[in-house]
Amino acid sequence: MPALKEIFRKDYQAPDFWVTDVSLKFVLSPNATLVTTELKLSKNTETTSRTLVLNGTEHSQLLSLRINDTAVALDDIQYVEHDIHLKDLQDDELAVTLSNQLDPANNSALEGLYLSNKIFCSDCEPEGFRNITYYPDRPDIMAKYTVIIIADKATCPILLSNGNLVEAKDLDNGLHQAVWHDPFPKPSYLFALVAGDLGYIEDKHIRPDGSPVQLRIYAAHNEVDKCHYALGALKRAMKWDEDRFDLVCDVDQYNIVAIHDFNGGAMENKGLNIFNAKYVLANSEIATDADFETIESIIGHEYFHNWTGNRVTCRDWFQLSLQEGLTVFRDQEFTSDLRHRGLKRIDDVKMLRAYQFPEDAGRLKHPIRPESYVEMRNFYTTTVYEKGAEVVRLYQTLLGEEGFKKGLTHYLNKFDGTAATCDDFLISMAEANHEDLSGFEHWYSQAGTPRVQVAKEITENGIKLTFKQLLCSEGSNLQPQWIPIRFALIGSEDKIIYEDTFILKSWEESITLPCKETNVALSLFRDFSAPVIVDYPYTEEELMKIAFFETDYFARWEAAQRYISELIASEQTWEEKQAKFIAPFNNLLQECRQEPSFYALFFTLPDPISIQSTTAEKDLAKIWEQRGNLIQYAAKTYEAQWLEIYQSQMIGNASARDLKNSVLNYLATLPNHEVTVAKQYEAATNMTDRMAALRASVLNNHSTAKTLLTNFLEKYKAYPSVVDKWFALQVSSPYITLEVLNHLRHHGEFNSHNPNRVRSLLGALGQNKVALYQQPQLFYPWLLDNIMMIDKINPQVAARLATPFSQLDFLKQSDQDAIRNLVKAQLANQLSTNLAEQLSKSL
């Protein structure tokens, strides 16, 4: 195992030298790219030492180094690991020039400069820039960049970097050159370069002052026709940020490039966003309705970073949530405003509970502002992003939309062009609103999902509610977190008779509501007003009331989910369960056409893992079986009504497809409807319907599944994101076997160098907890072996795939021990620091 050097938040020190200007010259060649770097530096007057640290890695071969006019002999250079330390530099202003050579074609880790389908492309966040050149690679150093790109004109007609194109000309020997200048000072992680044979589509956005921004999306020539949706989304994002936050695009050219081999989802490089192609390319033939929504939100996300991330960036990587939590919150609001606020909230909570809650309960748990890391890339987590967004949402819940906007505006004005901290954000919100927000601080420093216990008591003076918070963070000095609780009471006439928001600021508090009715249903955490687990002994009657009569979408959905989970976990007889499960459908099947998308969610039962983790029932096999049987029973009982709804939604928009396909999931459990599923597959005119049918067929183990899968692959071989779906679907089946896994692993379409394809196999298995938990001895070792194989190629991707090993606590002790022993054995082998950090923390 490599030595793991931990870096601590408390050790932050400002640099001795700032960089004011960077000039980079690239002479591109797949195996030998030459980089010349010129830096202008000035002394940070606030530090006394005079050391310049230029971070580097083993991937770049240093050829020369000069300080001012003096060449430094390569043998005289002092390194600490791969970083160059230049000590006792006496000048307050100095110039450093260096040159080095790179091998982009062999950069399979995809950090720094690499080749993807013959396109040169960069990915630098957080610390990839040091793979490109030696540089003080830290986000608090913001400099102006000029970039000269020289490449073969025939193979690389397009040369892109950040900012504005200031010169383009042909050179001798078939080469050409482009010069880009970015007037905005930026940290190195926002640097970008793309060069290759690309096509593009373009449009413009007109700013409030009437000036245009030129928008372009670049992709492979045969893919540019699939970029139109993303381009429209970009325009919507620009307009929305103007309308909602008065934030206007500050660059005149805004470029997006779609790249097939990409570690993350997308990257907000200033003026030159680089995207995983999967989040750009779409038309209804290859993308589902859900894909379209995701693309729109990610296009928005990267654009919103232009203010929250780029104009104001983070001082050090511990503060990552400052920009990611905030920007996720902003993209969630974007989608909510453009689409359906209630449904978006449900989707986001589902995602938070499925990924972030387990992370916060597992061995890789960390606060949204971590205290230490070994590999920063391991901290691009759902905690930093999604829980971070929930914490940002708390401010809005407390201050209101207007107060939140005031705070954000103040924060951006105050810190524009600088690198800030999470504390700066909190203080800005407090200053702008003249509020004490000190209780928010603990959300940044304490890990774990808080639990809130609620008790309801009928007293002479009204209804008394007692709230108690329990934290599961480590440490002896835990402080109560401020928890906004939106709640309502539904009275005997099925109407909301009281609603309010209570802010729980201490460990335990009570309030008494002036309410004389006694038979009330208490609806808690409406709109999921805080990222907590709620302990309250709902009665069945209360849940039914909330599910039917609440006005808050989240609360309705939540009550229904809880009702079903509790029912499955209860000790009642099977006949009682069946009867109680199907009773509400009488009404639901009547109403559902009024709000098809909402009822589609309503009809979708909580997944087995969620039932297991929220109820007393821990037997996953039993949950799986009962859940399936209930769906089948409801399908059989109301078969005619389901069919009628199904037929009625045949022609329609995305909401109709939502409802139709949720109904299909019921019908698909009945043997006589295998043919309905197969017919839908054949007749589908869009990916949403085709995929829904294929999924229903595979997940219900239909006899047609094999044929449909073969047909699907034949049809869509040319579309990588669709082939990813084909892999992921098979791997997410509860019936997955080692035989199928091995078949897929050695399939001609599997590609261990493409992160999307790797995730569609190994990532999907890691998420198939039903399979993992039922046959741990089978699947965990297979997963681990394959992660080790990926680690040799791409450590960042491998480390992320290893998270299931930090969440073993649900397993039998003997299984846990056996798996941890395997992990321990692997730690003795050669592996990357990325993977070593994740695995060793999992033990």
Which parts of this chain interact with Zn ion (CB under 5 A)?
324, 327
| Closer of 267 and 361 to ligand SER (Cβ) | 267
- The entry of ligand SER, Zn ion, none that residue 54 binds, CB within 5 to 8 Å by partner kind: none
Q: Does 264 bind ligand SER (CB under 6 A)?
A: yes
| Closer of 387 and 486 to ligand SER (Cβ) | 387
Distance, in Å, from the CA atom of 284 to the CA atom of 100, rounded to the nearest integer, reads 46
User: In this chain, which stretch among 70-78, 108-116, 259-267, 762-770 interacts with ligand SER, using CB under 6 A?
Assistant: 259-267
User: In this chain, which stretch among 27-35, 193-201, 224-232, 263-271 interacts with ligand SER, using CB under 6 A?
Assistant: 263-271
Is residue 675 left, alpha or beta, with left meaning phi > 0 and alpha meaning psi from -120 to 50? alpha
C-alpha separations of 809 from 40, 352, 359, 367, 445 in Å: 53, 19, 12, 20, 24
Among residue numbers 773 through 832, which ones bind ligand SER (CB under 6 A)?
none
Per rule CB under 6 A, count of chain residues that contact ligand SER: 9
Q: Which residues pair with 144 in a beta bridge?
A: 21
Smallest gap from residue 387 Cβ to ligand SER (A): 14
Q: Does 267 bind ligand SER (CB under 6 A)?
A: yes
Q: Strand 372-373 to strand 52-54: parallel, antiparallel, or no bridges (unpaired)?
A: unpaired
**562 contacts 544 by C-beta, under 8 angstroms:** no
Burial of 417 (0-12, 13-18, 19+ CB in 10 A): exposed
| Closer of 328 and 567 to Zn ion (Cβ) | 328
Smallest gap from residue 74 Cβ to ligand SER (A): 33
Using the rule CB under 6 A, which residue among 127, 261, 268, 359 binds ligand SER?
A: 268
C-alpha separations of 215 from 23, 230, 238, 544, 806 in Å: 25, 11, 11, 50, 43
Maximum CA extent, the chain: 92
Active site residue 435: no
Residue with tokens 């960089």: 19
Give the residue among 67, 502, 556 at the shortest CA–CA distance from 345.
556
| Closer of 56 and 300 to Zn ion (Cβ) | 300
| Closer of 267 and 463 to ligand SER (Cβ) | 267
Amino acid at 502: F
Smallest gap from residue 270 Cβ to Zn ion (A): 14
- The entry of ligand SER, Zn ion, none that residue 266 binds, CB within 5 to 8 Å by partner kind: ligand SER
Smallest gap from residue 263 Cβ to ligand SER (A): 8
Output phi, psi for 158, to 5 deg.
Answer: -105, 125
Using the rule CB under 6 A, which residue among 140, 302, 348, 424 binds ligand SER?
A: 302
C-alpha separations of 353 from 360, 516, 621, 733, 802 in Å: 10, 36, 21, 20, 19
Using the rule CB under 6 A, which residue among 266, 286, 454, 513 binds ligand SER?
A: 266
Q: Does 111 bind ligand SER (CB under 6 A)?
A: no
- The entry of ligand SER, Zn ion, none that residue 390 binds, CB within 5 to 8 Å by partner kind: none
**806 contacts 819 by C-beta, under 8 angstroms:** no
- The entry of Zn ion, ligand SER, none that residue 264 binds, CB within 5 to 8 Å by partner kind: ligand SER
Smallest gap from residue 377 Cβ to ligand SER (A): 9
| Closer of 264 and 720 to ligand SER (Cβ) | 264
Burial of 611 (0-12, 13-18, 19+ CB in 10 A): buried
User: In this chain, which stretch among 60-68, 262-270, 597-605, 651-659 interacts with ligand SER, using CB under 6 A?
Assistant: 262-270
Distance, in Å, from the CA atom of 546 to the CA atom of 556, rounded to the nearest integer, reads 6
Q: Does 531 bind ligand SER (CB under 6 A)?
A: no
User: In this chain, which stretch among 7-15, 60-68, 260-268, 759-767 interacts with ligand SER, using CB under 6 A?
Assistant: 260-268
Among residue numbers 125 through 144, which ones bind ligand SER (CB under 6 A)?
125
- The entry of Zn ion, ligand SER, none that residue 267 binds, CB within 5 to 8 Å by partner kind: ligand SER
**560 contacts 581 by C-beta, under 8 angstroms:** no
Site string for ligand SER, 558-587 (x = CB under 6 A): ------------------------------
User: In this chain, which stretch among 241-249, 265-273, 536-544, 545-553 interacts with ligand SER, using CB under 6 A?
Assistant: 265-273
Buried/exposed 580-600: b ≥16 CB within 10 Å, e otherwise:
bbbebbeebbeebeebbbbbb
C-alpha separations of 24 from 65, 112, 135, 150, 243 in Å: 14, 14, 11, 11, 37
Using the rule CB under 6 A, which residue among 324, 390, 617, 724 binds ligand SER?
A: 324
From 302, 386, 617, 674, the catalytic residue: 302
Distance, in Å, from the CA atom of 736 to the CA atom of 770, rounded to the nearest integer, reads 10
Q: What angle do CA 323, 328, 330 make, to 5 degrees?
A: 95
Q: Does 301 bind ligand SER (CB under 6 A)?
A: yes
Give the residue among 186, 324, 321, 300 at the shortest CA–CA distance from 245.
300
Smallest gap from residue 302 Cβ to ligand SER (A): 6
| Closer of 288 and 796 to ligand SER (Cβ) | 796
**374 contacts 832 by C-beta, under 8 angstroms:** no
Q: Which residues pair with 38 in a beta bridge?
A: 23, 97
Among residue numbers 344 through 403, which ones bind ligand SER (CB under 6 A)?
380
Binding site for ligand SER (CB under 6 A): 125, 264, 266-268, 301-302, 324, 380
Catalytic residues: 302
